[in-house]
């Protein structure tokens, strides 16, 4: 059964994908000359964009824009490629053992005000 939350999440993901595609679209439509990609990426990174959910101004780093550009360039459906990746629910610690992850979860439950610092 789909919930309203699932629908909202998909809508947000689609908005993010459309924004990312709008940012890199000029690069796809008119690829820069050899040696000019870095300048084009810097120009896009210097611009201000509208956040797809809040409507506030936002900027992106050239490395992020470059990652989106190459992902979209090699994809059959560039917009779908630029969607947020779904995250699993709950806390995940992929770089630690299960025992350490369990201990961290217990500590966090006991002390929710703590930070990793």
Report the mean per-residue pLDDT for the chain. 86
* The predicted structure's pLDDT at residue 115: 73
Q: Is the distance from CB of 23 to CB of 65 less than 8 angstroms? A: yes
Most confident of 26-35, 84-93, 106-115: 26-35
CA–CA separation, 42 vs 51, rounded Å? 19
pLDDT for 117 equals: 59
Closest listed residue to residue 83, CA positions, set 23, 27, 21, 41: 21
pLDDT of 18-60, one tens digit each? Answer: 999 999 999 999 999 999 999 999 999 999 999 998 999 999 9
Checking if the pLDDT of 1 tops 70, the result is: no
Q: Give the list of residues 6+ apart from residue 21 with CB closer than 8 angstroms, or none.
A: 72, 78, 79, 82
Domains of the chain, by residue range, sit at 4-81
Report the relative pairing of strands 57-58 and 49-50 from DSSP bridges.
antiparallel
Question: What pLDDT is stored for residue 8 in this prediction?
Answer: 82
């Amino acid at each position: 059964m789909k919930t309203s939350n699932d629908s909202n999440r998909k809508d947000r993901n689609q908005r993010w994908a459309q924004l990312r595609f709008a940012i890199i679209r000029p690069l796809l439509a008119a690829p820069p000359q050899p040696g000019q990609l870095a300048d084009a990426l810097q120009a896009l990174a210097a611009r201000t964009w509208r956040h797809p959910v809040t409507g506030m101004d936002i900027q992106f780093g050239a490395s992020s824009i470059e990652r989106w550009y190459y992902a979209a360039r090699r994809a059959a459906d560039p917009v779908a490629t630029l969607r947020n990746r779904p995250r699993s629910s709950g806390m995940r610690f992929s770089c630690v053992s299960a025992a350490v992850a369990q201990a961290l979860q217990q500590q966090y439950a006991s002390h929710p005000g703590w930070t990793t610092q």
